[in-house]
Every structure is written in structure tokens, then in C-alpha cells.
């Protein structure tokens, strides 16, 4: 049979349709009762149950995973990168107290490779299922000559909901004397990879497949560790500590992404308060110690580029800090009291 002209030009619609036919089975684990219709329509349908809320506020976020994709290409490992993206987006809206409702993905590539597509979607589905989030649609674009062979790009959009009266707003609730808790990350998460790759692969001449004894892992596998989701933990903490009719114990949350401590924590602060983060109050993972050993990067910049082992911070009432800490640890997540809120001008200082 003669090849179709569009396929000859590099875009195989029939292959795309064949690959997408596997989606219903892959996405079954992400189904929620509010989802209407089938995946593959012009738009995803979600019937919000407004009876559950007095004043529901929809919270949305869109993001990608940056140059972490370069590690996926180098390792030929594509089953975790989708989960990274879902968890990153979940964490972004979780800091407002929002529950994730549904997620949509975008995949752009030069040539559609069925096994790579399937692995990526498996990651999306796994992340959505773990977070109770429906994967209701997306877009796969074949763009020959636009991407390097074997490469692709990903982005995702999440929509969640929070009761207006329960929405976290640190600028109104954070007070001098509040404690700052840090919850452990699983690694670099999805930020700082351009600098990390430069340090590890150019300055230190490592290769992704190199085994590092101190890590008990290859450097590539260590860098590909999945971005941790704090969504379910945060919902449990808010349910326990921020009760209707009582002062909020958990004042504010910050997702430590691009910008590290220095740029993310101030987004939760009143203009007359500073956050002081105390070095040495938590266990800095070995990977960050290796990155810090490269003297080309000033120490203060490390805390603006990397999470340094803390993926989420919580500003809490000081007299309840130990109770919140115990609850986090009971959920089998590492956490520490890493600082406090003081009088200031709305900045974060790492001392």
C-alpha cells in the first residue's frame, strides 16, 4: 500500500490513532464519578459536585518538567517523567489547600514512538491515580524536524477546588513567632537540572550510567527519582489542624520549586515578616552535598536553585509545631523544624 503523503512528510495520523486507542485502558485507574464522556473528544468534561461546597473556588496550574527530560532521553527511561509532572502540579495547587480534580497533558515530539508514548502515559496515569485526580484529556502533536531525534516535550494543566473560606493565605495569617517546618524531598524533583547537569556532567565529568557509592545508585537513576507528591498529606494535615471555627494551625505552605527557598517562601509572607531558614536543621541528602562540593556555585545560590532536600515548607503556629511534625512523621515522611518567622520586609533569609 502506498504511504500517505502526510505520513511521508513525517506525521503518521494512522499511527497516532492506533497508539491513542490504548488510552481508555491506561486511564481507567484515574476515573472519577464526575467525569463525563470519553477521552478523545474536543474537550474533557467534568461535572463539579457543587453541593459539597458553599463557595467553591477552582484552582489551576500549568507546568513542565524542564531539562529533567534530558535525563529521561539519556537513560531511555520514560515511565516516571509523567508522574513527575502530575505531582509537581498537584503540589502547586495543594499549597492553597486545593484538592486536585482533573489533569490534561500535552506531548510534542518529532516522531511518535509507540512504546515511549505508552510509558509516558503510564506515568501520567499512575500519578493521577495516586492523587485521586482524573486524567480527562490531552494533546499529542507530531512535529517532524521541530525536535531532535528521540526527544519530546511535556506540559500539563491541573484543575482543583477549595472551599473559599478554607483557602490558605499566608499574607493574612502568618505571624511573627510562627515556626517553619520542612518536609523532605525525594531529590531534585523537577527544578535545577540545567545547573545540576552542568556540574555533574561537565565539571565533574560524570555520565548518567556512573555508579556512585555514596548514593548506592547511578547518578542518572538518582536524578530521575520521582518528584514527591505532598497532596494527600496536606489534605490530611488541613483536615486535622485547620478546623472550622478555630484558628488555623497551618498558616501557609510553599512548594520549593524553581527559586528554591529564597524565591518561593516569600510568596506566602506578609510584607512585615521575614522567614529565617536555619542551615543544619535538616539532613541534606548526599546528592545535594555532591552538587555543593563544586566550588563554581556560591553556597547562597544553592538555596535559590535547588530544594536542598526540602520539597515543601509549612508555616505553623509555634505552639502546635511539634504536633504537626509528629503527624507528618506518622505518615512516614521526614520533616524538621527548620526556621521561624521574624519581623522584616517579606524576604527569606537562609542563615
C-alpha cell at 304: 535559590
Residue with cell 520533616: 335
d(CA 303, CA 294): 14
Rounded to an integer, the average pLDDT of 25-33 is 82
What's the whole-model pTM score? 0.94
List, in sequence order, every residue forming a beta bridge with 152; answer none if it has no partner.
Answer: 109
Alpha-carbon distance 271 to 345, whole Å? Answer: 5
Cell output for 198:
552542568
Among 120, 101, 97, 91, which Cα is nearest to 19's?
120
Asked if the model's pLDDT at residue 64 lies above 80, the reply is: yes
Q: What is the pLDDT of residue 245?
A: 83
CA distance 349 to 233: 27
Burial 283-300 (b: 16+ CB within 10 A, else e): eebebbebbeebeebeee
| Cα distance between residue 336 and residue 121, in whole Å | 35
- Out of 77-81, 146-150, 152-156, 189-193, pick the least confident: 146-150
Helical packing angle, 114-130 and 13-20, nearest 10°? 40
* Cell numbers standing for residue 54: 458553599
243-291 pLDDT per residue, tens: 988 889 999 999 999 999 999 999 999 999 999 999 999 999 999 999 9
State pLDDT tens for residues 34-53. 999 777 778 889 999 999 99
Share of the chain above pLDDT 70, in %: 94
Q: What is the pLDDT averaged over residues 299-322? A: 97
Question: Which has the closest alpha carbon to 117: 154, 62, 68?
Answer: 154
All domains of the chain, ordered by start, with CATH?
A: 5-166 (3.30.1330.10), 170-350 (3.90.650.10)
Close Cβ partners of 316 (under 8 Å, ≥ 6 residues apart): 178, 179, 180, 181, 241, 249, 250, 251, 324
Lowest mean pLDDT among 20-24, 266-270, 325-329, 336-340: 20-24
Is the CB of residue 233 less than 8 Å from the CB of residue 328? yes
Which uninterrupted H or E stretch holds 14? helix 13-20
Average pLDDT over residues 89-105: 97
* Burial group, residue 75, by CB count within 10 angstroms (0-12, 13-18, 19+): middle
Q: What is the pLDDT of residue 6?
A: 63
The residue assigned the cell 555514596 is 214
Any residues with CB less than 8 A from the CB of 44 and at least 6 apart, and which?
Answer: 35, 37, 102, 104, 136, 137
Helix, coil or strand: residue 67: coil
Q: Is there a contact between 177 and 321 (Cβ–Cβ < 8 Å)?
A: no
Q: Contact, 307 vs 167, CB < 8 A?
A: no
Amino acid at each position: 500500500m502506498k504511504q500517505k503523503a502526510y505520513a511521508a512528510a513525517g506525521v503518521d495520523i494512522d499511527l497516532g490513532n492506533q497508539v491513542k486507542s490504548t488510552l481508555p485502558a491506561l486511564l481507567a485507574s484515574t476515573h472519577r464519578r464526575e467525569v463525563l464522556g470519553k477521552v478523545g473528544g474536543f474537550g474533557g468534561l467534568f461535572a463539579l459536585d457543587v453541593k459539597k461546597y458553599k463557595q467553591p473556588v477552582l484552582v489551576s496550574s500549568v507546568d513542565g518538567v524542564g531539562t529533567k527530560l534530558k535525563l529521561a532521553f539519556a537513560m531511555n527511561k520514560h515511565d516516571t517523567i509523567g508522574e513527575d509532572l502530575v505531582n509537581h502540579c498537584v503540589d502547586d495547587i495543594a499549597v492553597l489547600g486545593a484538592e486536585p480534580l482533573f489533569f490534561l497533558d500535552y506531548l510534542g515530539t518529532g516522531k511518535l514512538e509507540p512504546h515511549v508514548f505508552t510509558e509516558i502515559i503510564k506515568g501520567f496515569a499512575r500519578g493521577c491515580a495516586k492523587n485521586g485526580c482524573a486524567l480527562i484529556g490531552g494533546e499529542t502533536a507530531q512535529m517532524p524536524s521541530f525536535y531532535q531525534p528521540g526527544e519530546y516535550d511535556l506540559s500539563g494543566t491541573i484543575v482543583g477546588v477549595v472551599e473559599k473560606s478554607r483557602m490558605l493565605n499566608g499574607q493574612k495569617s502568618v505571624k511573627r513567632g510562627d515556626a517553619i517546618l520542612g518536609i523532605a524531598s525525594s531529590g531534585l524533583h523537577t527544578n535545577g537540572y540545567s545547573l545540576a547537569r552542568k556540574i555533574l556532567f561537565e565539571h565533574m565529568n560524570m555520565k548518567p550510567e556512573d555508579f556512585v557509592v555514596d548514593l548506592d545508585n547511578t547518578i542518572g537513576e538518582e536524578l530521575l527519582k520521582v518528584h514527591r507528591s505532598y497532596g494527600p498529606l496536606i489534605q490530611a494535615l488541613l483536615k486535622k489542624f485547620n478546623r472550622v471555627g478555630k484558628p488555623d494551625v497551618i498558616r501557609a505552605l510553599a512548594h520549593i520549586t524553581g527559586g528554591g527557598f529564597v524565591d518561593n517562601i516569600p510568596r506566602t509572607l506578609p510584607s512585615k515578616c521575614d522567614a529565617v531558614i536555619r542551615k543544619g536543621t535538616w539532613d541534606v541528602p548526599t546528592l545535594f552535598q555532591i552538587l555543593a562540593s563544586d566550588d563554581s556555585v556560591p553556597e547562597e545560590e544553592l538555596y535559590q536553585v535547588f530544594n536542598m532536600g526540602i520539597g515543601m515548607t509549612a508555616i505553623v503556629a509555634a505552639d502546635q509545631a511539634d504536633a504537626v511534625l509528629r503527624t507528618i512523621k506518622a505518615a512516614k515522611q521526614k520533616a524538621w523544624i527548620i526556621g521561624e518567622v521574624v519581623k522584616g520586609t517579606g524576604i527569606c533569609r537562609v542563615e
